[in-house]
Chains A and B, each alone.
Chain A
Amino acid sequence: MTPEPAKGAPAPKDNRWRLVEATMRRHGHKSHALIEALHSAQEAYGFLENDVLRMVATELRIPLSKVYGVATFYNFFTLKPQGRHTCVVCTGTACYIKGADQIMNVLEKKFDLKSGTTSPDGQVSVLTARCIGSCGLAPAAVLDGAVAAKLTPAQVVAKVEEWMSHDQH
């Protein structure tokens, strides 16, 4: 599945784009800055839109196919919009032994959230990672960028419920 060709109006060049541009400028708009540019694009936009990929390709003078190839190669990049909050559950060896599967099970049973899915209200995305380097604190998860240690399924459920209820008001 390749991005469709541009349809008339280019994506608006807003403040978010400026962040991406700053990164490319720092690297002199060289083609080897591609991954750096995609990192800051994902940080700014939350995910990699087709329009953004296209703009990055133009700016760095790289074929769109290559940009798409790189964006889909790496696990870290996502081409789908993410929820407002992310819950990355570690399913590495230590965490698995300490019950990461129970956390995943309860998320699926209670909220119908599997790895790589986002709740219908767009609030919470659930992802899995392999070993985040905090095995001594297993099972661990990264909740909105902060590592949470020695989690129980109940704690995760509470957190997700809290995130979801924020939506209501």
Chain B
Amino acid sequence: MISIEDLSQISQAEREARDAVGHQINVCVAASCLSLQSDKVKEELEKAVEAKGKKDCCKVRGVGCMGLCAAGPLVAVEKEKVLYQGVAPEDASAIVDALGGEPVARIQGDLEAPFFARQQKIVLENCGRIDPERIEEYIAADGYLALIDTLTAMTPIGVVQQVTRSGLRGRGGAGYPTGLKWATVNKSQGTRKFVICNGDEGDPGAFMDRAVLESDPHRILEGMALAGYAVGAQQGFVYVRAEYPLAIKRLKLAIKQAEKMGLLGANIGGTTFSFNVDIRLGAGAFVCGEETALIASVEGGRGTPRPRPPYPRSRVSGAIRRSSTTSRRSPTSRRFSATARSGSRRSARPRAAGRRSSPSRAQSPTPASSRCRWGCRCARSSSTSAAACPTARRSRPSRRAVPRAAASRNRASTCRATTSPSRSSARSWGRAE
């Protein structure tokens, strides 16, 4: 039975061990860098450290995606804040020689570049910082604290209310309010409920789900357990594309580790709450990202969508009988564990940030209320005409009439869209229509 004290003990031990290392060399071992042979780089670095007798003061470890995949393989020297990019296995000895001195200029990357400096990572805060294959490192980053804390100190309804207050919205595209979705499932009558995490990332060019699955898998498990507690589910499924073998491997390992520590399974943290997570593999069908198709696929059938209502979150299904389902995208699930940890106040900012890919906007000095309806900072806050706003004009040149009609129909949704940046607000208008 794991308690908060146990967690802080593990995290303390982990931090002390890390502080004792003089030079921490992080090698990215997520999919993109691996395909550029970062595993060989890591091997060579380990050999070089050994050969040069620096074993006592240097440690080489694999970490998740650092974000700049196109310049991979990436290697970072943690305390000295040095980044190397495009590292070849032959560069290993030069990197080890340069420890504590002048970095190797030939392959040095710029950590001050706008790409890094203007990012504020929220969901991806641990990616590239922790070893995804060790649960201790996640715990040292305050992982699972929110789960145990919530289970012992909050009621399920309290969790739902906090999520509602935070303004967290679905990351699956439609931006459905997560609090509302959870409240529906919480209230519904089913005796068995399920949490399904949608990790079927079929859109071309999208790999945000993969980044987290590969680089910080425990975050997803923690988020799902929290969701399970809030809605009264005891079983969760993560639906992952079979095209992501590394993500599947790391997620499986993470589930095993969490079960061993008692962070998943029966009576988590000595409470009456039990939660298990299973993996379901996608099999190469884009449409399975759609929630009704996804549920059909989790049940082992053909992934064909079906008309709604009934909505999945109140649906009684065949194989998963008498159950209510809350299908949630993995970004939402991850976001939630970030939310619970820092309280609902902070996560109101991510909402203003809209899509995860533009977190830097969250810090924008312009308060949301002084933005125009289109979410840009053109200061025409009272403007209702899309033509007056440069962002709106740029993003939706041909459908100017849409928001005006929608605005007069539904003031509430207008306010909501106001706080999103231009792109996603344009998108939610599209849906409103």
Q: Which residues of A contact B (CB under 8 A)?
A: 30-36, 38-39, 66, 69-70, 73-77, 92-94, 129-137, 140, 145-149
Contacts and interface: CB of A to CB of B under 8 A. Distances in A.
Per DSSP, chain B at the interface is: loop
Given A32-B320, A36-B281, A70-B301, A133 B210 contact: yes
Given A32-B298, A147-B34, A149-B36, 7 more contacts: A35-B283, A39-B283, A69-B302, A94-B205, A131-B204, A133-B244, A137-B70
6 contacts: A70-B301, A75-B283, A131-B203, A134-B207, A135-B207, A137-B69
Contacts of A135: 204-205, 207
B182 to A, nearest CB: 24
B422 interface: no
Contact of B70 (A73, A136, A147): A136
A145 B246 CA distance: 11
A7 to B, nearest CB: 27
Contacts of A34: 300-301
B245 A145 contact: yes
B32 A134 contact: yes
A102 B105 CA distance: 36
How big is chain B's contact interface, by range?
A: 35 or more
A154 B143 CA distance: 47
Interface string B390-409: 00000000000000000000
B35 A134 contact: yes
A47 to B, nearest CB: 14
A94 B203 CA distance: 12
A32 B243 contact: no
B373 interface: no
Nearest to B237: A32
Contact of A74 (B35, B201, B284, B320): B284
A31 B320 CA distance: 10
A136 B283 contact: no
A130 B285 CA distance: 11
A147 B31 CA distance: 8
Interface string B302-316: 111000000000000
Contacts of A74: 283-285, 303
Contacts of A94: 204-205
Contacts of B283: 35, 38-39, 74-77
Contacts of B205: 92-94, 131, 135
A31 B32 contact: no
Given A70-B300, A76-B242, A131-B204, A148 B35 contact: yes
A149 B243 contact: no
Contacts of A39: 242, 281, 283
A70 B297 CA distance: 9
Contacts of B302: 69-70, 73
B300 A73 contact: no
Given A133-B244, A134-B31, A33 B300 contact: yes
B29 to A, nearest CB: 13
Contacts of B297: 35
A76 B32 contact: no
Interface core residue of A73, A77, A132, A148 (most chain B CB under 10 Å): A73
B124 to A, nearest CB: 15
A22 to B, nearest CB: 15
B299 interface: yes
B280 interface: yes
A32 B284 contact: no
B281 A35 contact: yes
B243 A129 contact: yes
Given A69-B302, A92-B205, A133 B31 contact: yes
Contact of A66 (B32, B243, B301, B320): B301
Given A35-B297, A148-B35, A133 B201 contact: yes
B319 interface: yes
Given A35-B281, A73-B285, A137 B32 contact: yes
Which 9 pairs of residues, A with B, have the shortest CB-CB distance? A75-B284, A136-B70, A74-B283, A147-B35, A34-B300, A76-B284, A76-B283, A131-B204, A133-B207
Contact of B35 (A32, A66, A137): A137
Given A70-B300, A145-B245, A137 B36 contact: yes
Contacts of B286: 130
B62 to A, nearest CB: 17
A135 B298 CA distance: 28
